């Protein structure tokens, strides 16, 4: 860990402010995001959702063959 | 513990708290987000490790041990009603411009409360952490082909990173 790495870090006070702004922005976007989520959930393709969640039915497992970094 | 470890730990905690608020208030998901600590590792070993539907062989105790060497690393355990539903780790680029999720695993237990929703929780926690750190982009490294449409729905697009690795990329609003 170098001092250069730390120089990128916000102060705790600034970090709290960024977290607060993150939450405020999400709440402002809420309706649109929630609608998008509901649409996605409605058309949920179970296999795709399992893959997106890093989860998958047993017959299609890739144990020992997939990339370690595969999501 | 060095100053760097303490500061990144505090920022991860802020990110978890922010994402818990947005997931509960915006998405209506009652989740708890934590570091991948002993509770999560014990739940993993008890309920996931030998589950027949498990897709990957990742040994999360080893994963966490190796990833914790980097103070800025991202990690999250996703909980719902005391059930462990997801685990993920990632890292911030040296320039602090990109947060990349490297490993994501959802619970193999078919009845877990966040079935089909783990990706939302992981991405929300990662976005919160990346936003607080001032990153410009969030990457999902080497995504599975079948999951691409769902990641696109979440605002990601397909790209390659500087190392020419395929990623799903999303620009972050700060």
Q: What is the pLDDT of residue A21?
A: 95
Residue B14: which of A19, A57, A64 has the nearest Cβ? A19
Instruction: Give the domain CATH number at B64.
Output: 3.40.630.30
User: Strand B98-106 to strand B137-141: parallel, antiparallel, or no bridges (unpaired)?
Assistant: parallel
Count the alpha carbons within 13 Å of A38 in the hemisphere toward its beta carbon. Answer: 8
Its sign, for the CA torsion B155, B74, B44, B28, is negative
A31 contacts in B (CB within 8 Å)?
none
The answer on pLDDT for A36 being more than 60 is: yes
Q: How many domains does chain A have?
A: 1
Is the whole-model pTM more than 0.90? Answer: no
Residues of the domain holding A44: 11-56
The answer on pLDDT for A4 being more than 60 is: no
Q: How many domains does chain B have?
A: 1
Please state the ipTM of this predicted complex: 0.90
User: For A44, which residue in chain B has the nearest alpha carbon?
Assistant: B116
The answer on pLDDT for A70 being more than 60 is: no
Contact status of A32 with chain B (Cβ, < 8 Å): no
Which stretches in chain B have pLDDT values below 50? Answer: none
Q: Is residue A69 part of a domain?
A: no
The answer on pLDDT for A59 being more than 50 is: no
- Which has more pLDDT, A63 or B4? B4
Closest CA to A53 of B10, B48, B2: B48
**CB within 8 Å: B18 and A19:** yes
Q: What is the pLDDT of residue A54?
A: 61
Q: What is the pLDDT of residue B53?
A: 84
Q: Is residue A46 part of a domain?
A: yes
Q: Is residue B162 part of a domain?
A: no
Q: Is residue B34 part of a domain?
A: yes
User: For A54, which residue in chain B has the nearest alpha carbon?
Assistant: B105
Q: Is residue B167 part of a domain?
A: no
Closest CA to B60 of B80, B77, B44: B44
B116 torsion bin: left (phi>0), alpha (psi -120 to 50), beta (else): left
- The pLDDT tens digits for B62-81 are 999 988 888 999 999 999 98
Residues of the domain holding B94: 3-141
Closest CA to B61 of B90, B28, B87, B84: B87
Cβ contact B147:A54 at 8 Å: no
Q: Is residue A34 part of a domain?
A: yes
């Amino acid at each position: 860990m170098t001092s250069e790495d730390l120089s990128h870090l916000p102060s705790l006070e600034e970090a709290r402010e960024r977290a607060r702004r993150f939450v405020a922005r999400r709440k402002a976007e809420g309706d649109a995001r929630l609608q998008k989520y509901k649409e996605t959930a409605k058309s949920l393709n179970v296999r795709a959702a399992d893959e997106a969640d890093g989860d998958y039915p047993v017959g299609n497992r890739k144990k020992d063959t997939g990339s370690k970094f595969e999501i | 513990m060095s100053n760097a470890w303490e500061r990144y730990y505090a920022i991860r905690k802020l990110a978890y708290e922010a994402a818990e608020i947005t997931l509960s208030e915006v998405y209506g998901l009652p989740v708890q987000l934590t570091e991948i600590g002993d509770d999560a590792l014990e739940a993993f070993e008890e309920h996931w490790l030998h589950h027949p539907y498990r897709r990957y062989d990742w040994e999360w105790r080893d994963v966490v041990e190796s990833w914790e060497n980097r103070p800025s690393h991202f990690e999250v355990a996703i909980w719902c009603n005391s059930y462990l539903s997801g685990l993920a780790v990632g890292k911030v680029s040296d320039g602090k411009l990109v947060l990349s999720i490297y490993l994501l695993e959802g619970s193999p237990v078919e009845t877990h409360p966040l079935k089909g929703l783990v990706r939302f929780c992981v991405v929300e926690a990662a976005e919160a952490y990346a936003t607080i750190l001032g990153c410009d982009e969030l990457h999902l490294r080497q995504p599975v082909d079948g999951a691409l449409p769902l990641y696109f729905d979440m605002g990601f697009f397909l790209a390659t990173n500087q190392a020419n690795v395929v990623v799903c990329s999303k620009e972050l609003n700060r």
